[in-house]
Structure 1
Amino acid sequence: MNQLSVELKDESATVLMGNKLSQAVKTGAIIYLHGDLGAGKTTFTRGVIQGLGHKGNVKSPTYTLVEPYELNSVNAYHFDLYRLGDPEELEFMGIRDYFELNSLCLIEWPERGAGILPEADLDITLEYVDAGRVINLVANNPKGLSILALLEQQI
């Protein structure tokens, strides 16, 4: 199965889902995060980063474009491309250097980097549903399928 959909009742459920995904991402991945402003993309990312062992704050890199986290098992990079004016700006910041084999790249607003960003292993969409949210995960390749299979075992 290349898709998974889970209902998230509140912010803590969103963080917990991020924690679970962190355990399924063994050797890094490229993950695109889709959703409206305030849909929970940064909250979910906080769960992933903290699940990998980060103890400090996880803030949105809206103004810096990328926030790096050097962790024991993987180098994680949280991108927020919302304010990106042109995808070419990514080339100037050396975007390709972030996509190493063992890197976890979580990218909010990936459509703003179209044509520059590599293909995502997983596309994740967070949507409002009543008072909660629904997270939809879609695997795009064998690595994404492997991550989804491991994640399903934890749910």
Structure 2
Amino acid sequence: MTTKNPESQHFEEQIESNLNALDEIPVEQDVVDCGSDFTDLRNEKEKIHSHHVSCEDLLKFANAKPSSRTRGNESDEVRIMSKVLGKDVTTEKCLQALDQSDWDVMKAIKILKLQNVVSADLSTCYNALESSMWDITKAAQWILQQDGEVTQV
């Protein structure tokens, strides 16, 4: 038979005590519901007066991304891009690049830098950057090569 270290036993007792304390939290304090069984136990009046939030509601809120028009010209992303790219790039161009890159600021900056070099549309710049692992030089060479092949035909 092995005897437990007194410190280890004390630690285990403390954990058990904390877990038991969690079981004693009243239902009214539970504000996130990740299962339908719990919801079925409450009546509608209690749900209205509590701060009940379902996991589905949280996921909808987390996945909802407002469009660039909703976020507006004054968003942090646009301000960052304006500082990096200077006054030559309009906020409208920043918003378009952000939409193209799913609001990834670094990718949007690279898209606009590439567009300034090769004068291609945003989707062409995005595709070229994606295929070149976001290397602006390689993406520019790829676009210029494509343009050269088109004009040679």
TM-score range, shorter chain: under 0.3
Q: Which has the higher strand share?
A: 1
Q: TM-score, normalised by structure 1?
A: 0.21
Q: TM-score, normalised by structure 2?
A: 0.21
| CA radius of gyration, larger in | 2
Q: Which has the higher helix share?
A: 2
Greater relative CO (CA pairs within 8 A, separation 6+): 1
